[in-house]
Amino acid sequence: MKKGCIVLHLLCSLFIQSCISDSVKNLGSGYFYRDEGGDIKDILCQNSNGGEIPATILDYIYNDEYIIAKQKPKYPQEPLYKRKYEYGTSDSLFYWIILKTNDVVLGPLSWQEYLDMRLKYQIPVELSLY
């Protein structure tokens, strides 16, 4: 009976681990995309000096230097984030750029601000959201 409980416990642990790892994607430099289902999709950093992009991420792309994301804010904002973000309107989409080498987070940005920052930081065309 004891062996059966141990085997069952191990199988449950493996199942839980596989579910957790499916909801997290490593983006490099300590950043990861987390999909908890529903509208909890965000980008966080495990480093204390790193930034974050709060829920809800609609699309993202990344390379070794940058993370680019499109977001529609979730209201009310979850309390787990480091800071409270202010948005002009809840109906808008916002854009974010993370400069991974410096842990700089630019956002929330309007479409025009996003385009201006792409030019300023010379972000390659391959890192575009459609």
pTM for the model? 0.79
pLDDT of residue 16: 41
Does the residue 1 lie in any domain?
no
pLDDT of residue 18: 41
The structural domain count of the chain equals: 1
Does the residue 12 lie in any domain?
no
Q: Would the pLDDT of 2 be above 70? A: no
Tokens of 97: 């750029």
Tokens of 27: 């983006």
Tokens of 45: 């950093």
Structural domain including 34 reads: 24-120
Q: Once rounded to an integer, what is the mean pLDDT over residues 44-66?
A: 94
Instruction: For residue 90, name the pLDDT band (cuts at 50, 70, 90).
Output: low
Does the residue 4 lie in any domain?
no
pLDDT of residue 103: 93
Does the residue 127 lie in any domain?
no
Does the residue 16 lie in any domain?
no
Does the residue 39 lie in any domain?
yes
43 in Cβ contact with 37 (< 8 Å): no
CA separation for the pair 73, 87 (Å, rounded) = 8
**In the chain, which ranges are continuous DSSP H helix?**
2-22, 111-120
Does the residue 54 lie in any domain?
yes
94 in Cβ contact with 107 (< 8 Å): yes
Does the residue 10 lie in any domain?
no
For all residues of the chain together, what is the average pLDDT?
A: 83
